[in-house]
Each structure stands twice: as structure tokens, then as C-alpha cells.
A and B are shown apart, each in its own frame.
Chain A
Amino acid sequence: MSNDESREHTFSVLVDNESGVLHRVVGLFSGRGYNIESLTVSEVEEEERLSKITIVTSGTPMIIDQIRAQLDRLVQVHNVANLTSDGPSVQREMALVKVTGKGEQRVESLRIADIFRAHVVDSTNSSFVFEVVGQTDKLDAFIELMKPIGLADVSRTGVVAIARGAET
């Protein structure tokens, strides 16, 4: 039954920027056996001392509802949005991708970077670091293409997301 299908959901959680809040959110996921596929956190409101946590998780509709309710009842949580089910949203992730190689390999890596609108942010005689921004699957594809050329290292930010439209 489609109702029991596990699907990916992105939650955006506005929290007090206090010590322990990230631990509490992460602990909720680990303590109840929910997945975390990606997690980002940063202060978004200096005066009000609010941080936003973006979590990509997956589960059946019942589990996704549970995750929302469990997050919502934490004392330090101000607002929980399910950006997958509440309406359209924009999702972005950034990766820094180190590729090593010489000659034709370097040319090929620049050519692919161009297609993906990736920027070179560091360069030596035998390496590039590319900065690539986009949806998770775009980054996955970029990294996959760099593997045979000389992929040496990857750092990814995890997903940040925001609802489309004028509503906040």
C-alpha cells in the first residue's frame, strides 16, 4: 500500500540558539530510530538568538507525522515546517570537490565543471577544488563524473531549504 511507503522529507526547524538544542534534536532522531540523511544548522536571527536546523529524513507518513509532533513539543523549538509536504520549496546544497590529475584530466574536469556551473576556488599544478551548488542529485552526478578523472576529496554542506512564495 502506498500509504506505508517510506519517502524523503525535508524539515525546517526554528530553534532557540542555545547550548544543547542540537543535541536534543539529534538525540530525538537517534533515540527513536529515525534516519538523518542530512543536517545543517546555523544562526539565522542574531537579535532573537534563533537558529534554523534543516533535516532531511525518510519514513512512512505515520513516522513523518511523528517526527513533526516530536520536534514540535521540544521546549526550544519555535516552529517546524515540513518543506516536502507543506508546499513547494527550494532546496540547495553546496559541495567542495577536490580533483587531482594532469594534462587531459585537468581539461576534462574543467569542461564538466563548466556544464555544472561549478567554480574553481583553489588550483595547483596537479589539483583543483571546485565549488558546486544545486540540488542533491546534481551534486551526486557531478561527483560521480569526477570519480574516473581523479576525485580526491569531497566536503558537502548538507541541504538547506526554504518555502517558495511570499509566506514565511
Chain B
Amino acid sequence: MSTKRFIGGEIIIKALIDQDVEVVFGYPGGVTLPLYDQIYKQNRLRHILVGHEQGGMHAAEGYARSTGKPGVVMATSGPGATNTVTGLVDALMDSIPLVCLTGQVTSNLIGNDAFQEADTTGITRSATKHNYLVKSTEDLARILHEAFYVATNGRPGPVLVDIPKDVLLGTGAYVGPEASEPRNYKPRLNPDAKAIEEAVDLLASAKRPIIYAGGGIVNSGPKASKLLTKLVRATGFPCTTTLMGLGTFPASDPLYIGMPGMHGTYEANLAMHDCDVMLNVGARFDDRVTGRTDAFAPGAKKIHIDIDPSSINKNIAVDVAVIGDAGKALDKIIGLWNKKKIKPDAKALKAWWRSIDKWRGIDCLAYDQDAKAAIMPQFALETLHKTLAGSDYYVTTDVGQHQMWSAQYLRFDEPNRWMTSGGLGTMGYGIPAAMGVQVAHPNSRVVCVTSEGSLMMNVQEMVTISKNNLPVKILSLNNNVLGMIRQWQELFHDNHESECDLSGGADFIKMAEAFGFTALSASRPDEAAGAIAEMLATPGPVFLNMAVARDENVFPMIPSGAAHNEIDLGPNKQLVSA
């Protein structure tokens, strides 16, 4: 073993390079100066100086979600570290692998309320999958590699490593990734054969089956999506994908019935409600999907594939639990399905599809553009989808109505193409996430769909985007109101529009131009398609401010705490015959 000694900062650079890290998103500060001095001295690692640490976190999430590799962030102590907290929780909720390195005050000052001191490991303990305070430069390399291992193995998540300044300045030996597996953390990847057998037997017996796929398939890697597609096509079962799972099964396939849950399609929700066998692959029975849990799929036997044993029976009790990697489990299920030469009950399945097609025939996502003077947000997104279709593109969103319309009208045929803040619902996610995606995929089209509320929450990253010549396209659906707040106030609070009005805000065109973007605007329906095409065709970063109808609601909608068959179709409800 080499006895060569390295300075703490050098060890970090070496460890990141050994972990195949190409880019870090960061912001320097007092205690991380020794680390930044090492960044200065090398040219293998690309550092992107962000505008705010939260922006760095979401950029790393976008990078990670679109590549399948962990995202890396550097922040200083105190405020730098506290600014990462929202991003950490966001990544924790959506199982995004991140490694966040924070500086800490010199060891002998810890606990003294020193300048820019915060109890970072204390604050982030429940915001991370795991975190570390490095006490000696000697431990630094091992802990960094262990952090990558923990972030990417099992259910992925954010890991924070807090590094005091003296550890950065001190010297220690370097160890590689192979010597640094945690002695204890060994998540189970291979599912139990008996559980697979039970799952296959249940699927074989199904008369009204549904396959409900989630973000775990994205985390398992592109192969898992291929296997999901293979299983769905081999069985002929209907498939629904969650907000985090969009693209894991091709939306263009006739077996796809849309997203389930609060703003899911009529057909997906009624099929979830009426099914007799449900196969959940890598989703977590989130409350936005299940609605009222005691009325969730009341007649169904449920199979749940999840890599995290604590997800099993957390919200919904299931009949068969398959613990392991989604891809490995799907592979085994397909293998056994073929080996047993199972033929689904064709007659029952045909009748089931007849019901589903009847629900689908309602066309719950229909909207009326022609009669309106304003651009309908649904129309804007359908137009975006048509314009992007067939090209190499990625979409990020912010949070609110535009996010739900994006999930409904942008139809993805591949995984890793859709980045959104699902679990935490973080406004301000979209622009920095798009930056991270574009850094990872410099030659692809990257579009951020946002709206003027979310836009202002990490607007500073527009500067980072233009400074780095990243050709991110921002489509802001401007309706002068916090739309989702207004929608709930209309539906559940006697239409009291309390503190949701955003009219009279910034001149977004001037703002975008000041930030180095080409700024476009559109407000009439006949301008929408041209403006979107121009946005995509214009080189460099482009901001399109699209004025849309103010009082449009997202439908279908299952009110919070209601059952799937209590779905509200909004203006389309007259289409349902009793």
C-alpha cells in the first residue's frame, strides 16, 4: 500500500475523479478555500459556480436523474450548508443519488458558535439518507467513497459529508473506492424466488390486472424500463406510470393508460379502483396516488416490488412483497412467466379492456381552445409536445398547475427524460434542474416548463445558465396567479383568492434579457405554435413568456382524501353517462 500523503483537498479531488465525477455544482466560502485552491490547480473536474447553493442541489438532481449517475455539490459551512437542505430533502423524497460536500469550521471551534458555524450533520440528519462528519484527514478518502456507495446503492438518496477546514488542510493517506465499502450497509438486490413465484401465480390468475410503475424503475436503469415494456406487452395488461415513473413505459403504446392519482387520467384511476390484481413496480403508494387508503383498489390482490423493505406495507397492506431491484425482479417475473408458458385469461382480459376503452373514450384530457381568446395552458403543452416529438429532448418542470399539465400532455417514451420534484414538490426546482440536465447532455434539447411563481424561486440560476452558454429553453406559462393555490381556493375555500395574485410582477422579458437570455413572448392562441418553434430553434438560452388563461383548473382531479371512483372530471363531466 502506498504511504504517500495528500492534503485533504487533494484527497477530495482524487476521490471524485476515482468515482468518475465529471462535474460538481458549487459555491465557495471561507472554510472551503483550501478545497477551492485544489480545484484551481487541476483541470479534470469541471466546477460550475452556481448562484445559490439550492440551485446547485437541484442542478445536481437534474444531472443525476438524466444520467443515472450521482450528482455532486460543494457548499461552505453555515449558510452554505443550510441552503442545501431543501435540495437534500427533495432528493431524499424522490430517491435521487447525490453527494453533498460541505465545509465545516475548524474542529477545535466546533460548538463554539464560530463564524459561519452550523450543526450541519445535526440539521441534515433527517434530510439525508446518511451523513458524516469527517474528524481526521486519514478517514477522508474512505468516507468519501463510502458516501458514493451509500448514495447509489439500494434505494438511492442524498449523502452529506461535512468536512472541517483543518481536515481539508491536514494530510492523510489515500484509499480507493474498492477499499471503502461500508462494513454493514448491504441492501438486498436479488428478490426471493418464492415471492417471484407467488407474484407470477397471482398475475396469471388475474381477470382485471393493472401494472402500476414508478420511479424505482428509473433508478434501476434503462434496462428495467425495457423489461417493464416487455412484461406489459407479453401480458397485454394495462400499464399506468406515476409522476416519477413517466417514460418508463412508452406513452405512445396503446397499453398505456396514463398517470394515476390526483390529476391522473379517468381510465387509469378507474382501472386502479376496479382491478383484481395490481402489480406495483418501484412505486410507493404515495397519498397523491392512492387517495383515501381504505377505498384504494378495494377488490385487488396487490404485489409490491420495492428495493426498500420499509416501503412495503407502509401505506397500503399488500399480499405479495418482492424486495429487491425493480429490473432484477422484472427479469425474474418475465423468466418464470415464459417458463410456465402462462396465457392470461383472454376472455376476461378482453372484457377488462372493453371497460378501460370505454373510460378512455371519455377523453378526460380534452379541453376547448377554439372558443378562448387566451392561450390554454393545455394547448401550450400539447403544442410543445408535438414540436419536441421525435427529437432528443429532456423536460424539467417546476411545481404547480403547469407541472401537472406537463405530466398530462407531454408524453414520454423513454425514462430519464422527465425531471420533476415529485415527493417534496419544490417550487424553484425546474430552472436549476434544467441547467444540470443540459450540462450532462450538451447537445440535447432541454426545456424547463415553469410558471411565474416557481420561476422567481431560483431565478438567479438563469445567470449561471447564460454564463455557461447552456442552451436551456424556459417556457414560462404566465397566468398572473399561483394557479394551484387559486384552484384549491376556488374548489375548497369558497373561492377566496387569498394571497395568490401575482399580477403586476416583474417585466419578465426585460429580466430574461438582463440575465443573458433571448426573450420571446406570446399571448394569442395563433402565436403559440410559432413562438414554441422559435424558442426551440433559437440558439443559446431562450426564455418564452407565454401568457395563458388565468382561471383554468387542472382536471381530472381526485380531491385530497377521496377515492379513485370519486374523480372530478371538471368541464368534461357531462360526457360520462350514468
A residues in contact (CB < 8 Å) with B: 16, 19-20, 23-24, 27, 31, 62, 65-66, 69-70, 72-78
Contacts and interface: CB of A to CB of B under 8 A. Distances in A.
A134 B317 CA distance: 38
Nearest to B135: A19
Given A66-B313, A73-B308, A20 B121 contact: yes
B184 A69 contact: no
Contacts of B184: 16, 75-78
Interface in B255-312: 308-310, 312
A162 to B, nearest CB: 21
B124 to A, nearest CB: 11
B313 A65 contact: yes
Given A16-B184, A27-B126, A69 B310 contact: yes
A70 B310 contact: yes
Interface string B114-156: 0000000110011001110100000000000000001000110
Nearest to A72: B309
B17 to A, nearest CB: 24
28 contacts: A16-B184, A19-B133, A20-B121, A20-B125, A20-B131, A23-B122, A23-B125, A24-B125, A31-B126, A62-B313, A65-B313, A66-B310, A66-B313, A66-B314, A69-B308, A69-B310, A69-B312, A70-B310, A72-B309, A73-B308, A73-B309, A73-B310, A74-B130, A75-B130, A75-B150, A75-B184, A75-B185, A77-B184
A138 to B, nearest CB: 35
Which of A19, A24, A72, A75 has the most chain B CB atoms inside 10 A of its CB?
A75
Contacts of A31: 126
Given A70-B310, A75-B129, 11 more contacts: A16-B184, A20-B122, A23-B122, A27-B126, A62-B313, A65-B313, A69-B308, A69-B310, A73-B310, A75-B150, A76-B130
B158 to A, nearest CB: 13
Contacts of A65: 313
Contacts of B155: 73
Interface residues of B, number: 22
Contact of B133 (A20, A27, A73, A77): A20
Q: Which 8 A-B pairs have the closest CB atoms?
A: A69-B310, A75-B130, A69-B309, A75-B185, A70-B310, A78-B184, A31-B126, A27-B126
Interface string B168-191: 000000000000001011010000
A76 B129 CA distance: 11
Nearest to B310: A69
A62 B293 CA distance: 14
A28 to B, nearest CB: 8
A16 B146 CA distance: 15
A114 B354 CA distance: 79
Nearest to B309: A69
Contacts of B125: 20, 23-24, 27
A69 B321 CA distance: 13
Nearest to B150: A75
Interface in B417-436: none
A69 B314 CA distance: 10
A72 B309 CA distance: 9
Nearest to B159: A75
Nearest to A3: B317
Contacts of A62: 313, 317
B104 to A, nearest CB: 13
A85 B313 CA distance: 18
B314 A75 contact: no
Interface in B489-538: none
A75 B187 CA distance: 10
Nearest to A48: B183
A161 to B, nearest CB: 22
A66 B130 CA distance: 19
A68 to B, nearest CB: 9
A158 to B, nearest CB: 23
Which of B126, B131, B133, B317 has the most chain A CB atoms inside 10 A of its CB?
B126
A70 B131 CA distance: 16
Which of A31, A73, A77 has the most chain B CB atoms inside 10 A of its CB?
A73
A42 B182 CA distance: 22
Nearest to A30: B126
Contacts of A24: 125
Contacts of B187: 73
Contacts of A20: 121-122, 125, 131, 133
Nearest to A77: B184
A38 B192 CA distance: 35
Contacts of B310: 66, 69-70, 72-73
A27 B121 CA distance: 13
Contacts of B122: 20, 23
A24 B187 CA distance: 19
B144 to A, nearest CB: 15
Contacts of B317: 62
A78 B182 CA distance: 11
A75 B150 CA distance: 8
Nearest to A28: B126
Nearest to A62: B313
Nearest to B312: A69
A65 to B, nearest CB: 6
